[in-house]
Amino acid sequence: MPKRLDARSKVRIEASTLNVYSQDLLETLEKRDDIKVILITRSLSEVAESWHNQMLKASFIEEGTTLSDLLCSSSTSGLKNYREMLAHGNLIDKWITKLGHKRVFVMDCTELKNNSLRIAALLDKFFDCKLELPEVVPVSNVYSSPRNQLLYKFVRTSFFKRIWYSIESNFPYLRKIRIFLREKILLKKSVKQKEFEIKNHSWLINEENIARDMIVKNRNVWRES
């Protein structure tokens, strides 16, 4: 087990959305009032789709299993995984409860895309400085799927990544090669399936409602400050 962080530790955080699920990170940041946090959300239907695709790509779920079928199944282990990952509203609530609205800024990605100037102004206020953010938010996501499931699963193992990143740290140009191999060799562009709808799953609707409520409360704090 890694050594637990404390209030005196330097905090270096990987740019991963999975950090929002880390209780250790949250408890560490609770003691560090010099650090502020931005949470960017998106519709829970998209989050569910994204996580399901990750599970399929990593071969943790049998190919051909639809998201709707899985959420309606009686598979306790599978549903536990999804319920934890899709606890959208409760996660936002947990972070704000621990750190407070003054240290957490919550925004929706659609809001960021459609009202980037207003969000930029609020972020200036949040950080109490002029950030000079770009007026247009770049969008680069492309829906893709593995060309070879076994190969893709192998390169995502901690064993392979540990070796690769160790070599890459000494030869930074390998990062471009890694990105090229991933985007052009390992993955192929695919047609996105019809968007999943959460309306048939009451627990997902509840999470979405909690998230929206927390965003409204957070936005009111920063409009009034």
Q: Which residues pair with 145 in a beta bridge?
A: 188
Q: Is residue 39 within 8 Å of residue 106, measured between CB atoms?
A: yes
Superfamily of domain 36-140+197-225: P-loop containing nucleotide triphosphate hydrolases (3.40.50.300)
pLDDT in tens, the chain (225 residues): 345 555 566 666 666 678 888 888 898 888 888 889 999 888 888 888 888 888 887 777 777 778 887 777 665 566 778 888 888 899 999 999 999 999 999 988 888 888 888 888 899 999 888 888 777 666 656 667 788 888 888 888 889 989 998 999 999 889 889 888 888 888 887 766 666 777 778 888 899 999 999 999 998 998 876
**Which pTM was predicted?**
0.70
Domain ranges of the chain: 36-140+197-225, 144-190
Helix/strand/coil (H/E/C) assignment for every residue in the chain: CCCCCCCCCCCCCCCCHHHHHCHHHHHHHHCCCCCCEEEEECCHHHHHHHHHHHHHHCCCCCCCCCHHHHHCCCCHHHHHHHHHHCCHHHHHHHHHHHHCCCCEEEEEHHHHHHCHHHHHHHHHHHHCCCCCCCCCCCCCCCCEEECCHHHHHHHCCHHHHHHHHHHHHHCCCHHHHHHHHHHHHHEEECCCCCCCCCCCCHHHHHHHHHHHHHHHHHHHHHHHC
